[in-house]
Every structure is written in C-alpha cells, then in structure tokens.
Amino acid sequence: MDDSQLLRYSRHILLPELGVDAQQRYASSHALIVGVGGLGNPVAQFLAAAGVGTLTLVDADRVDLTNLQRQILFDTSAVGQSKVHAAGARIRSVNPEVRVVPVEVRVGDAELGPLAAHADVVIDCSDNFATRHAVNRTSVAAERPLVSGAAIRFDGQVVGTAVVTAGGTFSFSFTIPATAPLGMSTITADGVKPGGARLVETGTVVLTG
C-alpha cells in the first residue's frame, strides 16, 4: 500500500481486528451486488469507501424521482439515467481506486452464473422473489458466500451465509417459497425506510471479508 492508501484507510488499519492485512484483502476482493436500489445504494457506497477493489453492479432500472428519498448515490440530475451507470459515476468520485463493472440487464440464472463465478461474495439487494431465488441458486452453484437483505415499510431482514454448497446450510426457499403468494407487500404499494437493514447488510459483508 502506498502513502495515500495508508492515509485513506487509516481508520480501518488502526483497528486491531482489521489492520493492513484485512485492507489488502478488501482491495483484492470482488463483490457482486444484485440490485442498486434502497439497499444496493448504501451497500455499494460503503464497500467502495472501505476499499473493496471491484464492484459489479447489476440493475436494469433507471433513476426515478421517487428513488431519491432513500437511494443515496443519486441526485436530481441522475433522474432518467441508468442506475448502474449513475451509481458507478458516484462511486468513482468517492473512491477512484475502485473498479466498477455496470451490468444493465434484468438477470436470471443464465446471466448470474458467470457473474457469481468471478466474484468473491454475492450480495442480494434485489426487490423481487424471482431474482432472490435466482441469486440463491447461483450462489449455491458457484459456491460463493451470500448476503441477502430485504426491506419493506420499517421492517428489514438480513441473512448472511458462509460458502454455500450444493448440500449447504441455507437456501432462500427455506424462508420464501419459489412461487411467492400473490398480494404480498411491495415497496411501490407500501413504501420503505430501509436504513437499518442496509447498514446491517453492509456490515455483514465487511466484517466477514
């Protein structure tokens, strides 16, 4: 690490639980973030600020005015722009050392497979059950750690796993069936204030990195 990096990450390095070794692991790590909304925004920003070397951002949506209340990487000038590209620009301004890989598609198993294979950790910040199950299946197939977060109204849930194998200890289908019942709450219908869940989701990634 050079002098600039030692200064930038000094508050991490001073922590005996982290130090230079952990910071160097962050720099060589690759996180796949699926969903760049209310959860994915702060997860991406905090991981970039922490010095995670590569972030792959996956989201097919564009920034909407209603996003700005909680999606902290975006400002008014970003409305109408691709979320992954707007988020990438903001992340690079926070930490130009971070490599951002934008993936502006709606992903399923076929698209997620190679993305997960190149990542060290998979972070599920998506907003629908079909994507959540696809992310879980991909993590199992690729044998990658999975951190999955969800938020609705004032409620949040975060599940973190170690490396998930085909005979592993967790499947998202244990908690939500693959065919989710109709009429379940949605952010569009019921609103969201996801602050706690997104902090816990980010912390789970950093502290287990």
Q: What is the pLDDT of residues 187-207, one digit of tens each?
A: 444 444 444 444 454 445 544
> How crowded is the C-beta side of 112, counted as CA atoms within 13 Å?
29
Task: Identify the pLDDT of residue 86.
Answer: 98
CA pair distance 60, 1, nearest whole angstrom: 35
- What is the pTM assigned to this prediction? 0.81
Q: Which residues of the chain carry a pLDDT beneath 70? A: 154-157, 159-209
Where would I find the H helices in 28-145?
Answer: 40-50, 83-94, 109-117, 129-142
CA pair distance 28, 97, nearest whole angstrom: 11
Task: Identify the pLDDT of residue 149.
Answer: 82
Domain boundaries along the sequence of the chain: 14-207
State the burial class of residue 10 (Cβ atoms within 10 Å of its Cβ: 0-12, 13-18, 19+): exposed
Fold category of 14-207 in CATH = Rossmann fold (3.40.50)
